[in-house]
Amino acid sequence: MMGQTLMPVLAGGLMLALMLLPAGPAHSAQGQNLDNLLQEVRQFQREDSRIDRSREQEFGLKLAEQQQQLDRSKNRLEQAQQRQEELKQAFDGNEAMLLKLTEKLRQRSGQLGEVFGVVKQNARELQGQLQDSMVSAQLPQRTALLSFADSKRIPTLDELETLWFVLQQEATESGRVAKFDSEIIAADGSRKTAEVVRIGTFTAVSAEGQYLNYLPASETLAELPRQPGAGDQQQAAAFVAGNSQALMFDPTRGSLLGLLDQVPTLEQRLHQGGYVGYIILGLGAIGLLVALLRLLLLGITGLQVSAQLRKPEKLSARNPLGRVLQSAEAGNNRQLPLEELELQMDEAILREVPKLERGQSLIKLLAAVAPLLGLLGTVTGMIGTFQSITLFGTSDPKLMAGGISQALITTVFGLIVAIPLLFSHSLLSSRSKALIMILQRKSLGVLAQHRSQQRAGNLEVGHVHKDDAPTAAVSDTSATDLPLNTVEPERNVVA
């Protein structure tokens, strides 16, 4: 087609070229060029014709192939429609047959139909019990024996006997203590085979004393994430080994032992108190440390005072009583009057009292502050709880549990810290007061002894100079005034 279109155009072009050619010597050369051009045009025409025929042939082949595919699709459609009609007729025939067989089954079973219904219902209930029974860890795949419970056919005699056998087996095993080897899933996810003791359908323990939980999905035993106390585990290990006849077991078939994982540990309790709880515990630790240190020092001081009481002739400056008695001895050596000696001993006792009562004020302060900090934690916890209620409402109690836990835990922490500190303060106060009473009692004894010695000295002087009373009075006055004048500067320093 393209060649047919180009022919008139090329012919017109050639005619126009011939008309425009000039006459002259180059006429023959131009004519040869026109012949060459004509040949090229004819060659192009032949090539276009060949391409057109090739394309027409290709289109014809594709059209034939598409027609064949269309015919095959129509044949398949007819076959599918015919198959659909056949299946529909077969389905309708099966429905009619099923109705006839159902009616025939009802007529033949008669009153036994209700009995078979009860049997299947009991079989389904028993399947649920077997799935959750710990006996299935020892005797797996028992639920497959009761598969007739979900079918519409009448149970056979063997299946009825199987139901009776499985019921009897479950009842028997629920009252037995059995030992067997089973695969156990450890707390870290690893699997191992170990000896297991099963106590009926309630509890199972391993040879290491680990309590086990039954997993119905895999019919295996797994160690509880959180075990009971060490004493219970040792008792369980001894029971498995045959060395003990006592064992703690869970009558709720693992429900109570499973709740152990939900009980917070001591570390979790400490974290529930928040920053206020940490402050309370820190102050409590400081107070108890101070109390223990002071109690130790007072105990050592008490032993030293007791040793001084047993050896009054050897005065030591390493204990309060020895220092007080040394002060009294120094006053006697300087022959101080009774009043000045009393003042000097009171001063020595007052120097010892702060040493004996050191730290008690701090302990008393911490004992008073701890409950107040607990109250502060309660208030902050309740503030957090009300903020959660404001943002999320009261639909989820877990959102409020954090604030309530902090409110309660901080109060508990405050009381736990305050009560021992109060007892410690009372104990330290009684110990220090007892030591102070010893110092005061011994100082009064020294003063009484000094007074009796002065009276004895006055009586001796009176007997010697009874005939010269004025002279004795002068001598007594002079003897009394001499120490007073001697210690007057020291008394002024003390004052």
Domain locations in the chain?
1-16+33-109, 116-262, 272-494
Cβ atoms 403, 373 nearer than 8 A: no
Confidence (pLDDT) at 29: 62
Confidence (pLDDT) at 401: 67
pTM: 0.51
Which candidate, 331, 345, 357, 359, places its Cα nearest to that of 445?
345
CA-atom Rg of the chain in angstroms: 58
Which candidate, 434, 429, 426, places its Cα nearest to that of 309?
434
- The lowest-confidence range among 273-287, 416-430, 433-447 is 433-447
Q: How far apart are CA 356 and CA 297, in angstroms?
A: 9
- The lowest-confidence range among 80-89, 208-217, 228-237, 398-407 is 398-407
Q: How far apart are CA 214 and CA 424, in angstroms?
A: 50
The first and second tokens of residue 246, run together, are 């006592």
Confidence (pLDDT) at 110: 60
| Interaxial angle between packed helices 398-464 and 274-310, expressed in degrees from 0 to 180 and rounded to the nearest 10 | 20
The yes-or-no verdict on residue 285 having pLDDT over 90 is yes
Highest-confidence range of 35-49, 246-260, 310-324, 464-478, by mean pLDDT? 35-49
Q: How far apart are CA 48 and CA 70, in angstroms?
A: 33
What H or E segment, with its residue span, contains residue 199?
strand 191-199
Average the pLDDT over 459-484 and give the result. Answer: 39
pLDDT band per the 50, 70, 90 thresholds, residue 296:
very high
> Which residue did the predictor score with more confidence, 25 or 150?
150
Confidence (pLDDT) at 289: 94
Confidence (pLDDT) at 397: 67
Confidence (pLDDT) at 332: 66
Cβ atoms 204, 240 nearer than 8 A: no
Confidence (pLDDT) at 469: 40
- 42 three-class SS: helix
Cβ atoms 274, 406 nearer than 8 A: yes
Confidence (pLDDT) at 367: 92
Mean per-residue pLDDT of the chain: 77
Tens digit of each residue's pLDDT (9 = 90 or more) over 45-86: 888 888 888 888 888 888 888 888 898 899 999 999 999 999
The yes-or-no verdict on residue 462 having pLDDT over 60 is no
Confidence (pLDDT) at 339: 75
The yes-or-no verdict on residue 422 having pLDDT over 50 is yes
Tens digit of each residue's pLDDT (9 = 90 or more) over 313-329: 777 777 887 787 777 77
Cβ atoms 465, 450 nearer than 8 A: no
Which candidate, 402, 411, 407, places its Cα nearest to that of 264?
402
Cβ atoms 350, 357 nearer than 8 A: no
Confidence (pLDDT) at 476: 36
> Which residue did the predictor score with more confidence, 132 or 342?
132
What sign has the CA pseudo-torsion 106, 112, 114, 117? negative
The yes-or-no verdict on residue 39 having pLDDT over 90 is no
Tens digit of each residue's pLDDT (9 = 90 or more) over 162-199: 888 988 888 888 888 888 888 888 888 888 888 888 88
Tens digit of each residue's pLDDT (9 = 90 or more) over 363-410: 999 999 999 998 888 888 888 777 777 777 766 666 666 667 778 888
Confidence (pLDDT) at 362: 92
Cβ atoms 407, 382 nearer than 8 A: yes
Cβ atoms 199, 212 nearer than 8 A: no
The yes-or-no verdict on residue 335 having pLDDT over 80 is no
Average the pLDDT over 402-427 and give the result. Answer: 87
The yes-or-no verdict on residue 489 having pLDDT over 70 is no
Which candidate, 418, 409, 419, places its Cα nearest to that of 275?
409
Highest-confidence range of 4-13, 197-206, 329-338, by mean pLDDT? 197-206
Confidence (pLDDT) at 353: 85
Confidence (pLDDT) at 427: 92
